[in-house]
Every structure is written in C-alpha cells, then in structure tokens.
Amino acid sequence: MSALKGKRKEYLTVKDLQKVLDSCKLHLNQIDEVWPNIFIGNVAVAQTKTSLLKLADDSTYFDLDVYFQPAADFIHKALKSPDGKVLVHCIMGMSRSSTLVLAYLMIYRHLPLKQALQKLIQKRAIYPNRNFLALLLDLDLQLTRKKKTCQIL
C-alpha cells in the first residue's frame, strides 16, 4: 500500500491554490511589475486610456477562460516588440488581471499553475476568485496533457 501511495499523482485543488495565495505577505498597490515588463494594476492606473475602461463584471460565473489564449497571445506579442511592456488591469488588480497573467505564464512561459502563483505573489498581492482558480486548474491540466502527448510523439 505504501508503494502505491508514493506513486499516486498529486492533483491540485482550488483549496491548495488558495493556501498558496494566503501565504502572500505583500500589501496591495495600484500597480506592480509582476514579471519582466508585465504589470498588474487597478482601474485608477488605466483611467487615462479610454480603450482600457471596457471592464467586464467579475462574476463567479464569468467564463474568463475564453480569453486565456487571446490575452496570452497579446501579451506575448507585445513583449516581443522592442521595449515592449504590458499593463494588465481590472478594477482592483487582484482577480481578473492576475488570472490572465497567470494564463500567460502557463501558456508561454510553461510554468505549472502553482509555480506561476508562487512567482506572482512574490511581486503582488493577488487573489483570483474561486471560479477563475478552477478555470486555471483546467488550463493547467490541459497543458500538462498536451505536454505529455508531445513527449510521446
């Protein structure tokens, strides 16, 4: 039985991710650089840009995952340009914006979700809502399966 225990794959839960987030000791700022040239901020930072003011409701039922790939592609393309920098913002700069940055780190920087969370909370106090954490867990699982499939081929 103990041999099976050691071989069991540990799957993350939303509660596991919330424990990682709870370990963050940082204070929430209006804007923080969370990855080289990627910033997460609140709406006050972006109020001078009218195109950035189209904010969606941060509902616990909002399907943000349909924006994971387009947002990750946008961030990736912007960072490839000379002197490229990106501000990812939402009203509080804690849930929606951090979820999109986490998706970018997972898709383009190939970080597992838990590691991406740990990296961001070293730079900013974030707290994606439970729905967004569950969507990120799904993405993490999809990327892990894709990676395993690619290694087999």
User: What residues act catalytically?
Assistant: 90
CB atoms within 10 A of CB 100: 24
CA of residue 110 relative to chain centroid, distance: 12
Alpha-helical regions (H) of 1-153: 2-7, 14-22, 43-46, 68-80, 96-108, 113-121, 130-152
Q: Are strands 38-41 and 86-89 parallel, antiparallel or unpaired?
A: parallel
3-state secondary structure of 86: strand
Q: Taking a C-beta distance cutoff of 8 angstroms, is the pair 32, 41 a contact? A: yes
Q: Counting beta carbons within 10 angstroms of the beta carbon of residue 93, is it exposed (0 to 12), middle (13 to 18) or buried (19 or more)?
A: buried
